[in-house]
Structure 1
Amino acid sequence: MRIRASELEGRGWLNTGGAELDLEKLRGKIVLLDFWTFCCINCLHVLDELRPLEAQYKDVLVTVGVHSPKFEHEADPVALAAAVERYDIQHPVLDDPELITWQAYSARAWPTLVVVDPEGYIVAHLSGEGHAAGLESLIPELIAEHEAKGTLHRGDGPYVAPEPVSRDLRFPGKVLPLPGGTFLVSDTGHHRLVEMAADLSTVISTIGSGTKGFADGSAAVAEFNEPQGLALLPGELAAAVGYDVVVADSVNHRLRGLTLATGEVRTVAGSGVQRLLEAGPARVNDDGASTSTSHLGTAPLEVALSSPWDVAYSAALNTVVIAMAGTHQIFDFDPATGAVTIVAGNGLEGLLDGPADQAWFAQSSGVSEDAQGNIWVADSETSALRVVRFAPDGAVSVETAIGEGLFDFGFRDGDAGQARLQHPLGVAVLPDGSVAIADTYNGAVRRYDPATRQVTTLARGLAEPSDVLLDETGEVPLLIVVEANKHQLIRLPLPKNALQVDEGAAQTQRPKTPVAPGELALTIRFSAPTGQKLDDRWGDPTQLKVSATPPELLLAGSGTSVGLSRTLTLSADVPEGILHFTARAAACDGPEDANGEIPDHAACHLYQQDWGIPVLLSADGATELALDLRGMD
């Protein structure tokens, strides 16, 4: 049955020169609806996956970003406009703060892609990232079909580029103090690094050409792609390895090394291929962990990374610790040996404490070491402050200091168990052992005291602070804050009496799905793209993990196992909650050999998506739930 696409409704449009769009104006084009939210690293990955397709098929394909916010701050139209500029989005964007179009297309996860053919019918519904290869085969099929029918119209799309703005800094990400009293800033929006004078406004030098790309070499020719975190190596180690600073080059999925004396840039880790699939067979273990061990080898340029967002040198580990936002893990890199290791996190997205190899993170974006060698983590998507602890016997564990879960946030001080943040990106340990947090979407700097487990507010009214640093170069200690959406760095005094703020706790507001207590049949639909085949060489290549908040909601059906369908049993005693699903499927290009089998050299792809489905228990609720990992109409 052919399903007609629903109309595009929302508060307004960006990147259209003020014009309002609807499906009738887009008739004759292949329309790709990208349901996204600007906090989501997977959504940012999809933006980059789609750029080559948009360029290749610019006369027939129109991408429409449907921005359906997760966090309260993302519903602010000014913040959305800044995000569209920050991420260089070159297609129309529909502002959908009330999730009207989200609901009309039954979107349940960020990101979700929906393909609409030139006649206005839905032909594909895709969740998660990694769908570029499938779209590369689907789009030519639609072009051929609709050219033959006379329903395809070639020509320019409705995108209108905004007027460019000139600035010294553009959406800066992180800041690093240098030995001479200056500061190195990741000038993220200009794809370069900038050395600033002690006044935080005078530009001393720039490293990188300012062209988005990837190139090693001198300061004038090197290229970055949205650099973020910066870590200074100890002098003896820097002399041994030949560079001083490690740079998290986020969109290039690499670590870069900078020699301060010359401005020379080299790649020190990362193959440049986004880490979606472990080396070896395209499958995962039944416990949800990868097939690889935590030690990923000593050939750092062959290791795949995924959106490294922050880096910090650990004196306890003698390595550079990495907030690997794209895989929801903490890695480290040893400049002396080249070894890359997974320190904590099994790659599943959420908030789960415990042994390091079983813990869940969610888009970790800031790291800092304390005097005891613990690593404090700004875990942005759970609006949490986490800590990785290293015991004398070698055991590594993860604890949560502030935070409740993927959909819980707010602005609340007081006892850490009740305190709330909103998508923090930066963290710094203060001399007294307390932790300063760049509470990005609350526009604030917060403080957590591990001794008292109390949370206070040090500053507010900031424009998306992305990093925070203690500055002790003057007579009194100050905080340096990277104010990303004002494109500047500022100094703030440490207040003698911190603020006590309580604007309440909140949850992401999405429609609740009515479900009946008792048995619920869950199905995750997946169809391999044309030219790919499920990789069953080592058994079932699919996996489904199920859990619930609160856990008492699930009487049966939780846990991880192969297959994409399961029968759950829901408790009648729990009125509402959230069902958490993680689905994975591995498919490879092929078959290519004479026996119709996938050859060993075939390129393989891992499709994965996490869902958090709010449910309301009702006697007349649904007894079946179907979600699309990759559904074709």
Structure 2
Amino acid sequence: MDNNLETTLNACATFTESLAASDCRHERKERIKCFLHKVAQQPVSVGDFKVGLEWFNCKEPLSFTRHLKGKIVVLDFFTYCCINCLHIIPHLRQLEKRFSVKDGVVIIGVHSAKFDNEKDSGNISAALQRYDISHPVVNDCDGILWSKLGISCWPTLLILGPNGQPLFQLVGEFEEKVLFELINVSVDYFGQRGELSSHHLPPPSATSIIRGPLLFPGKVTTVIQDDGSELIAIANSGLHSLIIASADGTIKYIIGCPDKPGLVDGDFEVARFNAPQGLSFSTPHLLYVDLRKKTVFTLVGNGLQASVNVSQSSGAAQSLSSPWDLCFIRRKVLAPQNITQPFLCICPPAPSGYRGSGEENNKPFPPATHLPASSVPPPQPPPFPMSSTLPSSPPPAASGMPPPPPPPPLSSNLSSNLLPPQTLTCSAENEAKEFIEQEILAIAMAGSHQIWVYFFQDTMWWGKEFFSAGVCANVAGSGNEANRNNAYPLSASFAQPSGLSYCPSNDELFIADSESSSVRSINMKTGKVSGVVGGSKKPDDLFSFGDVDGVGYNAKLQHPLGVAWHEESKNIFVADSYNHKIKKINLHTMTCSTYAGGGSAPDLALFNEPGGLCVSADGAKLYVADTNNHCIKVICLLTSSVAELKLLSDEQAPGISPVCTVTVPLSVNFNGKIILKVNLSLSDGIKLTEGAPQRWSLHLPGKHFNVSWRTESLNGTLDSRNAEVYITAPPAQYSGGPHEIKLTLKSFLCADGACKAVTSSLLFSVACSADAPNSVEYKANFTV
């Protein structure tokens, strides 16, 4: 790195950190202006982007000399697996609303991958669509910009001036007002100097996903209904909704509003979700969405992003931090007798290990750091704020490019999140071992790297701490991001826990710990946290990932997002998401092996970042949320065969028209025009789901498509319940026939408080002849 550039970057980082010491708004503004005046005089620039990098959300690669001169540029260094990176996306979205490109502000994402899977351009493109990132993004797959600019952790924002000079650096998560303050003052400062330009950037490239009923499904769960049939619930994350279906794929309910996220309770028609993930049934009628009353209510959470050191609270008053999975647990526990006061035991770190072994995973711990995959130095204090994801080395850099030095150490904000210590006295009657039934909801709190629990009744937890009914609290995890096992659960550390599954026979909770690429467990009797497979022996090494079948630490996973316990076989199934596989762990031998995935197209066992899975209620099948393939796949555990669960609307649902196909004969001349005027009519009592797209799709004769049959688009959306579809018939040399053309309309409709997807089709049997009209118009009326 150029010495002048390195000096300027260090000064930017140091200034941004020092700014936090001032609370006076006027003083902060003056300090920012003085610093801007200082750095604006420096003839230092970050230089241009390397030629040949892949770009997204723009038609051509961007350049500081051609496109970005005269712009304040916010470089967002991120990797799409990182929960901390996801936390700042709303801040960037608000910044885009407040300052447009015409105002002189441009946001550019620099995707510097942690995992090998994240370097793939197709996976990055899917992630940008999943998280609704619309600003330009460059794929820094080899860490060239990362190394050149001395970036050391995710996320990092580097703010550049109109001549490409570094201005400020924000490391880790931050308050939105800090970013807005820096940009506000910068726009005013450079605007007064006449250095900002209002020119536009090239328009974004057109990208789209042909959508079915599912878009990036995250998690899936099942339950047996009162009549013995199976019910499946799917977190349809990309469409901000839940789908409840029967085992044959018949959709019973669509809950929430596709394309319209929000936090709204109420009946199924008005309820709103925002990229829902975890799901868990407590009874056949309660999914924390009341299927019997057809209502949605908030159990816990106020919609605000919690900090790591948030205190416990009750119900809707509690802040949460990216809850990624849920697990309802009903278990038998000893009933404490004559408890006079709640008791809390706060313990220091104690020896622990890999399911009881005395490995190196047992030392008093500093806050978490990510260590490199190849050479792991001794643990050292973390050079980053708590709310960041830090590698101790950057992604692989270009040849000859040395790694950047670590920034100065910062203090951590470790929080035990506990109640004050009190006393507990128990009488000898406890020896009678009277049992009671305990119900809790375990929560994988990915954003704070902890496991939380919602308590449905007053509970003496692990015989030490009392929680009142309705309280949600952290029960395992220090809040530091690490792979640290410990006999004392609050001294253990997790790394973005993303999947949960309960083993009733062992009274054990299994956890997909995604950033450590491991599967871990909590003993629900004692609270001891242990490793199962994957990860590293060194707690702070979060780069020990791969795709290796093996035992314990020798097995390697890559960012697993889901786990499912299978009681009959005593196996754990794992959604090894970034390896695109389903793996199986034999709990007796601690062996992890590939079970499904890794095939080649069109093999149905070809998964794409599966995000969740569950065992069917009868134990015979495994349901997999195949996230980037936008579908649910079913694995038969007897034969290991894989099939896709086809979702269909319920033909018998009251007030909703069934799926139908009507055949219409048409005649047209060779090269003639067919104009289909689509109209959707609604019966009394039925209305469109607010905000949901009403989509049409066209299927032309496949044999000669693009050679003979021509159309502007094979799919689209209705405009005010109407659309026009234009088709051109083939020339005379393709005279055979009749030809079949299928027009399908997929509507999201609501009736009697329930919302469902309804599919209707028109099948046109088209005969082409020289004596037929040159143009045919047909009014395609769909009535539901």
Report if TM-score (shorter chain) is over 0.5. Answer: yes
Cα distance change on mapping 1:95 and 1:149 into 2, 3 Å: same
- Does the residue aligned with 1:189 lie in a helix, a strand or coil? helix
Q: Deviations over 1:208-230 (max 9, x none)?
A: 01211221222122111110000
Which residue number corresponds to residue 621 of structure 2?
478
Instruction: Determine the C-alpha separation between the residues in 2 that align with 1:262 and 1:194.
Output: 16
- Does the residue aligned with 1:51 lie in a helix, a strand or coil? helix
Gaps in structure 1 of 5+ consecutive residues? 239-243, 247-257, 280-291, 499-633
- Does the residue aligned with 2:622 lie in a helix, a strand or coil? strand
Cα distance change on mapping 1:414 and 1:497 into 2, 3 Å: farther
Which residue number corresponds to residue 112 of structure 1?
156
Instruction: Determine the C-alpha separation between the residues in 1 that align with 2:640 and 2:218.
Output: 28
Q: CA RMSD in A?
A: 1.9
* Match status 1:21 vs 2:47: no
Instruction: Determine the C-alpha separation between the residues in 2 that align with 1:127 and 1:454.
Output: 39
Instruction: Determine the C-alpha separation between the residues in 1 that align with 2:303 and 2:232.
Output: 28
For the 8 Å contact 2:221–2:613, the answer to whether it is kept is: no
For the 8 Å contact 2:220–2:614, the answer to whether it is kept is: yes
One-letter identity of the residue aligned with 1:15: N
Instruction: Determine the C-alpha separation between the residues in 2 that align with 1:263 and 1:161.
Output: 41
| 306-315 or 122-131, larger mean C-alpha shift | 122-131
- Does the residue aligned with 1:326 lie in a helix, a strand or coil? coil
Instruction: Determine the C-alpha separation between the residues in 2 that align with 1:159 and 1:438.
Output: 38
For the 8 Å contact 1:386–1:401, the answer to whether it is kept is: yes
* Match status 1:198 vs 2:247: yes
Cα distance change on mapping 1:497 and 1:348 into 2, 3 Å: same
Which residue number corresponds to residue 531 of structure 2?
400
One-letter identity of the residue aligned with 2:251: V
Instruction: Determine the C-alpha separation between the residues in 1 that align with 2:583 and 2:230.
Output: 26
Which residue number corresponds to residue 613 of structure 2?
468
- 1:84-483 aligned at under 5 Å gives the runs 84-158=128-202, 160=204, 162-165=206-209, 166-178=211-223, 179=225, 180-200=229-249, 202-210=250-258, 211-234=260-283, 244-246=286-288, 258-276=289-307, 278=309, 296-297=312-313, 299-316=314-331, 317-336=438-457, 337-354=469-486, 355-371=488-504, 372-391=506-525, 395-402=526-533, 403-404=535-536, 405-431=541-567, 432-461=569-598, 462-473=607-618, 477-483=620-626
- Does the residue aligned with 1:81 lie in a helix, a strand or coil? helix
Identity of aligned residues (%): 34
- Offset of 1:49 from its aligned partner? 2.0
TM-score between the two structures when normalised by the length of structure 1 = 0.70
- 1:597-616 aligned at under 5 Å gives the runs none
One-letter identity of the residue aligned with 1:303: Q
Which residue number corresponds to residue 11 of structure 1?
53
For the 8 Å contact 1:90–1:161, the answer to whether it is kept is: no
* Match status 1:491 vs 2:634: yes
| 153-162 or 222-231, larger mean C-alpha shift | 153-162
Gaps in structure 2 of 5+ consecutive residues? 1-38, 332-437, 458-468, 599-606, 642-784
Q: Deviations over 1:523-582 (max 9, x none)?
A: xxxxxxxxxxxxxxxxxxxxxxxxxxxxxxxxxxxxxxxxxxxxxxxxxxxxxxxxxxxx
- Does the residue aligned with 1:396 lie in a helix, a strand or coil? coil
- Offset of 1:11 from its aligned partner? 2.5
* Match status 1:34 vs 2:90: no
Cα distance change on mapping 1:357 and 1:472 into 2, 3 Å: closer
Cα distance change on mapping 1:214 and 1:145 into 2, 3 Å: same
One-letter identity of the residue aligned with 2:502: E
Instruction: Determine the C-alpha separation between the residues in 1 that align with 2:202 and 2:231.
Output: 45
Instruction: Determine the C-alpha separation between the residues in 2 that align with 1:155 and 1:44.
Output: 29
Instruction: Determine the C-alpha separation between the residues in 2 that align with 1:85 and 1:233.
Output: 33
- Offset of 1:479 from its aligned partner? 1.5
TM-score between the two structures when normalised by the length of structure 2 = 0.56
| 33-42 or 258-267, larger mean C-alpha shift | 258-267
One-letter identity of the residue aligned with 2:326: V
- Offset of 1:132 from its aligned partner? 2.0
- Offset of 1:454 from its aligned partner? 1.1
One-letter identity of the residue aligned with 1:426: G
- Offset of 1:472 from its aligned partner? 5.0
Instruction: Determine the C-alpha separation between the residues in 2 that align with 1:427 and 1:158.
Output: 44
For the 8 Å contact 2:444–2:500, the answer to whether it is kept is: yes
For the 8 Å contact 2:561–2:577, the answer to whether it is kept is: yes
Which of the pair is proportionally richer in strand?
A: 1
Q: Deviations over 1:173-209 (max 9, x none)?
A: 0112132423110000001111223234x43321001
- Offset of 1:277 from its aligned partner? 5.2
Q: Deviations over 1:84-127 (max 9, x none)?
A: 11111010010111111111111111111100112221101111
* Match status 1:68 vs 2:112: yes
Instruction: Determine the C-alpha separation between the residues in 1 that align with 2:174 and 2:328.
Output: 32
- Offset of 1:43 from its aligned partner? 0.7
Q: Deviations over 1:357-416 (max 9, x none)?
A: 11110000000110222110000000000001133xxx3110011121411101111222
* Match status 1:55 vs 2:97: yes
- Does the residue aligned with 1:245 lie in a helix, a strand or coil? coil
Cα distance change on mapping 1:62 and 1:495 into 2, 3 Å: farther
Cα distance change on mapping 1:124 and 1:465 into 2, 3 Å: same
Q: Deviations over 1:311-332 (max 9, x none)?
A: 0011135100000000000001
Instruction: Determine the C-alpha separation between the residues in 1 that align with 2:265 and 2:309.
Output: 26
- Does the residue aligned with 2:542 lie in a helix, a strand or coil? coil
For the 8 Å contact 1:92–1:158, the answer to whether it is kept is: no
Instruction: Determine the C-alpha separation between the residues in 2 that align with 1:388 and 1:161.
Output: 47
For the 8 Å contact 1:172–1:189, the answer to whether it is kept is: yes
Instruction: Determine the C-alpha separation between the residues in 2 that align with 1:497 and 1:483.
Output: 16
- Does the residue aligned with 2:181 lie in a helix, a strand or coil? helix
Instruction: Determine the C-alpha separation between the residues in 2 that align with 1:96 and 1:20.
Output: 13
Instruction: Determine the C-alpha separation between the residues in 1 that align with 2:75 and 2:175.
Output: 13
Q: How many residues align?
A: 457
One-letter identity of the residue aligned with 1:471: S
- Does the residue aligned with 1:106 lie in a helix, a strand or coil? coil
| 431-440 or 270-279, larger mean C-alpha shift | 270-279
Which residue number corresponds to residue 531 of structure 1?
none
For the 8 Å contact 2:476–2:489, the answer to whether it is kept is: yes
Cα distance change on mapping 1:123 and 1:468 into 2, 3 Å: same
Cα distance change on mapping 1:172 and 1:121 into 2, 3 Å: same
